[in-house]
A and B are shown apart, each in its own frame.
Chain A
């Protein structure tokens, strides 16, 4: 079974609108961490946001927020007020106890002016 599933290969959003990128995960580990990374066309990996499995509140970092629904095992990324510079690949990732990291296959986001 896939540890991280991102079901949206590509997404389009109008500039200044909000967009949600989906991520579901699979683990039996009670302690885990969830991450979102951005990869622009230049190739570098940019950390966006982190959510711990025991965190009670959804994580937020500026225009990024993580909609964490533990019972549904989902960790969707919400980007508010999209900008042209947000066009990139977005990866969801999970860290389990034992330091194993798993990444999803990514979602390509295109912001339309």
Chain B
């Protein structure tokens, strides 16, 4: 099993450009999450999904959209990137709400110039 994978690993954007980050998991997990990690601020939840076709807002959802068209994939979109979205983005998954662990992907480092 590959676990949780993220594509791409690195990306540089110009202000106003759009892009999509892909998260894929092969563990048949229902729950998937997108976080951002900024220096000195820990991880903050952007959006999450409790199953195929469902999404919900986390702590910092503004400027991002997500989709979960297939159970194994969770996409994070930036329609008009801003320098404030420069961050490391982590995807995670878990089997259900009460499972004791989230499985994290390796992260995507995004720089917006």
Q: Which residues of A contact B (CB under 8 A)?
A: 4, 33, 35, 37, 43-45, 47, 50, 52, 91, 93, 99-106
> Assuming the A-B contacts A103-B43, A105-B42, are A44 and B106 also in contact, with contact meaning beta carbons closer than 8 angstroms in the complex?
yes
| B107:A101 contact, CB within 8 angstroms | no
Q: Closest Cβ of chain A: how far from B111's Cβ, in Å?
A: 15
Measured CA separation A33–B100 after assembly (Å): 8
> Assuming the A-B contacts A101-B33, A105-B42, are A44 and B101 also in contact, with contact meaning beta carbons closer than 8 angstroms in the complex?
no
Query: What 1/0 mask marks residues of chain B from 87 to 107 whose CB sits below 8 Å from any chain A CB?
Result: 010101000011011111011
| B56:A50 contact, CB within 8 angstroms | no
Measured CA separation A50–B102 after assembly (Å): 11
> Assuming the A-B contacts A33-B100, A43-B106, are A106 and B59 also in contact, with contact meaning beta carbons closer than 8 angstroms in the complex?
no
Q: Which residues of B contact A (CB under 8 A)?
A: 31, 33, 35, 40-45, 48, 50, 56, 58-59, 88, 90, 92, 97-98, 100-104, 106-107
